Amino acid sequence: MPLTVDKLLNAMATTSTRLVIDKGSIGAQIAGQYCSMWRAAGQPQVGAIPTVAATCNDTTVGGFSIPQQTAPVRSFLAYLEWACSNNTMTLEAHDRLAANGNCNGTLTTSQSIALDLQTMGGTDNISTRIGDADYSDVQWWLEWYSATGATTVNATVAVTYGDGSTGNLSLVPISANRPASSAINLNVYRPAGVNAFIRAVNSITLSASTGTAGAFGVTATRLRGSVFAPVANCKYGCNWADLPLNEIPAKACMMLFVLPSTTSSGTVRGGGKVSHIDPT
């Protein structure tokens, strides 16, 4: 039998894992640009900084703890709610697929990233977790772990596309004093006329030194759900129909991003439910 609403509602009441969100505010952010909550204090705990290219999974420090199920049981994000100390904010829940945080803000030589979701496909269920086989569901980010320097620079990002072709994204501007936890979505820098989606990020080359080494790198994720909070300190929620209902595959490493309306992430509190359902 297929997955039904009755099965989902029953699972929400009886066979769900509760998600607890309690993250401290991250300051010095950029209004209208994403903030990764990976390194924010609270629950889930502070995430590990990846120093080499690696996949992420359900045991990676920083992700939500979600019990792994045995087929045919599948897991779905059935509910998500939050409140933020800032107003007009958006919370996004992502599956953190792979990351490499080895980049230095003072180097002007090519810095290896080596994140290829095709070659990683057999590890940690990545081939399923990416979603559509053409990589169109994957979001790629520059993610900061500590701030880089006061000089504005451009990044040349060398990639491989889903059709096997290679090339550089359009130049990615890195603003002065880019703060820890800030994130730049790389998907929007895919050049005009390129119809394939990004499969791998191979390297990054900075046009000049930012003046401070800091620490940043590349992260690949897949969006699983989002909630908007128009008023500060008021809780807003989305059920399975509004999220919409998205599967949380085996080995998923669930994390949070905030899209700030001001210069901090705000204090983030809330929760959710991942429902475990046997659709047979």
CB contact set of 16 (below 8 Å; sequence gap of 6+): 78, 273, 274, 275, 276
Residue keyed to tokens 């100390």: 85
Contact 251, 68 (CB under 8 A): yes
Spatial neighbors of 132 by CB under 8 A, at least 6 apart, are: none
The pLDDT assigned to 244 comes to 85
Query: What does the longest C-alpha to C-alpha distance in the chain come to?
Result: 60
* pTM score: 0.97
**Percent helix, strand, coil in the chain (nearest 5)?**
5, 45, 50
Which pLDDT score is estimated for 1? 53
CA angle 101, 166, 159 (to 5 degrees): 15
192 exposed, middle or buried (CB, 10 Å; 0-12, 13-18, 19+)? Answer: exposed
The tens digit of pLDDT for each residue in 38-95 reads 999 999 999 999 999 999 999 999 999 999 999 999 999 999 999 999 999 999 999 9
Cα-only R_g, the chain: 19
Burial of 84 (0-12, 13-18, 19+ CB in 10 A): buried
Annotate 112-166 with three-state secondary structure.
EEEEECCCCCCCCCHHHHCCCCCCCCEEEEEEEEECCCCCCEEEEEEEEECCCCE
Convert 125-137 into a string of H (helix), E (strand) and C (coil). CHHHHCCCCCCCC
Give pLDDT, residue 280: 85
Amino acid at 57: N
How far is Cα 118 from Cα 136, in angstroms, rounded to an integer? 13
Q: Which residues contact 17 (CB under 8 A, 6 or more apart)?
A: 66, 67, 75, 273, 274, 276
Q: Indicate if the alpha-carbon torsion angle 166, 141, 32, 270 is positive or negative.
A: positive
* Tens digit of pLDDT at every position of the chain (280 positions): 578 889 989 999 999 999 999 999 999 999 999 999 999 999 999 999 999 999 999 999 999 999 999 999 999 999 999 999 999 999 999 999 999 999 999 999 999 999 999 999 999 999 999 999 999 999 999 999 999 999 999 999 999 999 999 999 999 999 999 999 999 999 999 999 999 999 999 999 999 999 999 999 999 999 999 999 999 999 999 999 888 889 999 999 999 999 999 999 999 999 999 999 998 8
